[in-house]
């Protein structure tokens, strides 16, 4: 099929731009926010349409606060998902966000429920296969803290217990 600039411009102008977040509450075990939409009862990551004059990061923060009720700090951009909805392309950009411990606002009317789940439970709860795949691949690195290497753990333990450098060296070589 022949593709021209006019078709490309029409395709781009019809694109729905949305933003959202992987909102995380840190603790002994990090939890991830998933929301249930009122209109169709689907469980999804918090997200919504970007306003025309809004910057993407500000829009993502706004949407997560509106849909979860928690204030958040935006940490880093984590990725994009794209799909077709009602015959139009939709692009959703996501940021990793750190949520406060307690809610600050009421959630929007179009949100039936908000749940804070462990990473694995959040992936299972999501209704859309594309979001499950996205959270599985991107979220694993963004949400779960990397484990410290053995040598660093041994050194931290030695510092806590007051052991000297010589005993630490013997333990790490053995």
pLDDT in tens, 61-118: 999 999 999 999 999 999 999 999 989 999 999 999 999 988 888 888 899 999 999 9
**pLDDT confidence of residue 149:** 45
Residue whose tokens read 């490309």:
8
**Are 111 and 44 contacting, i.e. CB atoms less than 8 angstroms apart?**
no
Nearest of 26, 54, 25 to residue 114 by alpha carbon: 25
Q: What backbone phi and psi angles, to 5 degrees, belong to 91?
A: -120, 120
Dist. CA 85–CA 88, nearest whole Å: 5
The predicted model scores a pTM of 0.75
Indicate the domain borders of the chain.
Answer: 5-143, 147-174
Kindly indicate whether the domain formed by 5-143 is annotated with CATH number 3.40.960.10. no
């Amino acid at each position: 099929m022949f593709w021209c600039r006019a078709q490309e411009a029409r395709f781009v102008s019809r694109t729905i731009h949305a933003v959202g977040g992987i909102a995380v509450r840190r603790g002994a075990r990090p939890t991830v926010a998933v929301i249930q939409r009122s209109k169709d009862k689907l469980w999804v990551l918090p997200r919504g349409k970007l306003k025309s004059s809004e910057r993407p990061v500000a829009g993502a923060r706004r949407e997560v606060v509106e849909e979860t009720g928690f204030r958040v700090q935006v940490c880093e951009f984590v990725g994009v998902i794209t799909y077709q909805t009602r015959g139009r392309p939709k692009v959703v950009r996501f940021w990793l966000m750190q949520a406060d411990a307690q809610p600050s606002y009421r959630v929007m009317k179009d949100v039936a429920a908000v749940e804070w789940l462990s990473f694995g439970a959040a992936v299972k709860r999501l209704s859309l296969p594309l979001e499950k795949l996205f959270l599985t691949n991107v979220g694993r690195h963004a949400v779960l803290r990397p484990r410290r290497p053995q040598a660093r753990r041994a050194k931290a333990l030695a510092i806590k217990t007051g052991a000297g450098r010589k005993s630490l060296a013997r333990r790490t070589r053995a």
